[in-house]
Amino acid sequence: MTDKSRILIVDDEPLNVKLFAATLSSDGYEITKAFNGEQALKKVNEEFPDLIILDIMMPDIDGFEVTRRLKGNSETRDIPIILITASDDSNFKVIGLEAGADEFLNKPIQAIELKSRAKSLIHTKKYRDKLALQRQTENDKNYHNTKKDLYGESDKSSVLSVVEDENDAKLIKTYLYGQPYQLIIEKTAKEAIDVCKQNQIDLILLDAMQEGGEGFEACGRLIEREQTANIQMLVISDSEYLEKNHKQFELWSDDFLLKPINIHELRLRVKALLKKKAYLDSLYAGTEVSVRSAIIDSLSGLANYSYFKYFLEHEIKRSIRDANPVGLIMMEITDVNHNPNCLGHPAGEKLLKDIGTLIKENIRDIDLGARCKEKQFAIVLANTDGDGANIVAKRLKGLIQNHLSICAENLSAKRSLHFGIAVYPSDANSIDLLIDQAEKMLLVSAYSGEVGHLIRRKSAACSE
């Protein structure tokens, strides 16, 4: 089971392409390459990467023009672009920003910086794609009206600067003056925690070199609280401190900014992280009530059947484009109707909620759990073959069966679990046939007489 994000590296110097590819492939990314602007445009339209790393100075079509064309196309404008330059000319960054670039890096590039920027931009794109998919499903009439707010900062956003050094604090205040968000200034990590408890904060600019390591401790305390878990952390450091403490940076920060602070880089980092925070809030903080009501089953907390079919169709289209399999697990609970505490009773409703929670907590963010019928559930597994689907089915089977056994004293009839697995395109070549094949495997599971293990056929089933 794989979840590889695709990165397109574009540079007319093959050695640079090789170096960037080696650095990023160690983090599990799928790397594609282009060596001029024309090749880059062709690759993007064929493969739709999750991130583009693009050299500015190239013959024929330079990086600025490639960026303008991609950002001017509705099909490719949401692909994040990191522009690479060997020049210290600040005008390059201004031109790149106007062209629509999401990030800049200056050569020579540190590995930790390249990895951090790639990780941050890819995560933001995934959040944005997931939110867009939800809104398309609801056919939200207000989507185009609210889209602008989600693409950048808004005057409702709040940025908290926690910097002890007075010169750096003044510089940040000057550089962020007039930007479309509120700036709050504090000196210590303790003060930052108090402010976050009393105010809605979206981003913290945090000096990593606060005395006693209080900065990283503050990050940990805020991330642990549900109310502040989505706050973005932009940590400010010098290169020496970053090298010595890179593991802490990777663990606690969402991005970092190296001293001396550059106005363009500061504004760019803030804008990117506020965008990410907006997506996270819309997805997870309950602000999209109308979206949730349209796609969520109220009893289990999983997706409803309509959204399940839409999501599965979307993944099959992606499968056709990327030549990756899509796994489908169908799960059914039997013998529930013989128990007085079934659906319609508090115990039965709690069981559905508990099962929904177990499913959500044990699949990836890119996968989907759904309730299809009264006692039937489905899990869509992106980029997953039969072996990967079997691993997920076994894990869920053990967890849910254990939960049922713990609750056995409240049950007057035995409850059984059946799992059916089918994979696109090896088991079926359409969404309806895929669902039908997985449901057939449920029947195989129910009548096989096998207990406690997976039955392997063309696809697979398990029962207990």
CATH number of the domain that 96 lies in? Answer: 3.40.50.2300
- Predicted confidence at residue 449, as pLDDT, reads 43
Work out the pLDDT band at 349, boundaries 50, 70, 90: confident
- Domain boundary, last residue among 289, 318, 339: 289
Residue 298 pLDDT: 83
Assess if residue 304 is contained within a domain: yes
293: pLDDT strictly greater than 70 = no
pLDDT tens-digit series, residues 357-386:
999 989 988 899 999 988 899 999 999 999
255-286 pLDDT tens trace: 888 888 988 889 988 988 898 888 887 766 44
Asked whether the predicted pLDDT for residue 19 surpasses 80, the reply is yes
Burial of 189: CB neighbours in 10 Å, binned 0-12, 13-18, 19+: buried
Residues 241 and 303 in one domain: no
Is 164 a domain residue? yes
- The pLDDT tens digits of the residues spanning 79-98 come to 999 999 888 776 787 788 78
Please check whether residues 457 and 383 belong to one and the same domain.
Answer: yes
Residue 318 domain-assigned (yes or no): yes
Which of 219-223, 343-347, 419-423 is least confident?
Answer: 343-347
Cα(204)–Cα(81) distance, integer angstroms: 24
Query: Residue 344: is its pLDDT beyond 80?
Result: no
Same domain, 284 and 301: no
Q: By the 8 A CB rule, do 184 and 161 touch?
A: yes
CB 80 within 8 A of CB 119: no
Rounded average pLDDT over 140-161:
59
Distance CA 209, CA 410 (A): 55
Convert the pLDDT of each residue in 311-320 to its tens digit. 999 899 888 8
* End-of-domain residue from the set 109, 142, 159: 109
Is pLDDT at 340 greater than 50 in this prediction?
Answer: no
Instruction: Provide the pLDDT for residue 288.
Output: 46
**Do 87 and 192 fall into the same domain?**
no
270 and 170 in a common domain: yes
Beta-carbon-side half-sphere exposure of residue 60 (alpha carbons within 13 Å): 10
Give the pLDDT confidence score for residue 89 in this predicted structure: 73
The per-residue pLDDT for range 181-231, each reduced to its tens digit, is 999 998 887 788 888 878 889 999 988 876 555 666 666 667 666 667 788
Q: Which domain holds residue 390?
A: 296-463
Given pLDDT bands bounded at 50, 70 and 90, which one contains residue 336? very low
Residue-level pLDDT at 150? 47
What does the pLDDT average to over 280-302? 69
User: Are 373 and 440 within one domain?
Assistant: yes
Residue 14 covered by a domain: yes
Give the mean pLDDT of 37-57. Answer: 95
pLDDT of residue 297: 87
368 and 284: one domain?
A: no
Query: Looking at residue 129, what is its pLDDT?
Result: 82
**Highest mean pLDDT: which of 183-197, 238-252, 338-352?**
183-197
pLDDT of residue 435 exceeding 50, the answer is: yes
What pLDDT score was predicted for residue 12?
94
To the nearest whole percent, how much of the chain has pLDDT over 90?
Answer: 34
Residue 317: the pLDDT is: 87
d(CA 352, CA 356) in angstroms, rounded, equals 6
Q: Calculate what percentage of the chain has a pLDDT beyond 70.
A: 78
**Amino acid 6: pLDDT:** 94
Number of domains in the chain: 3
Give the model's pLDDT for residue 69.
96
Model pLDDT, residue 459:
42
Give the per-residue pLDDT at 3.
Answer: 61
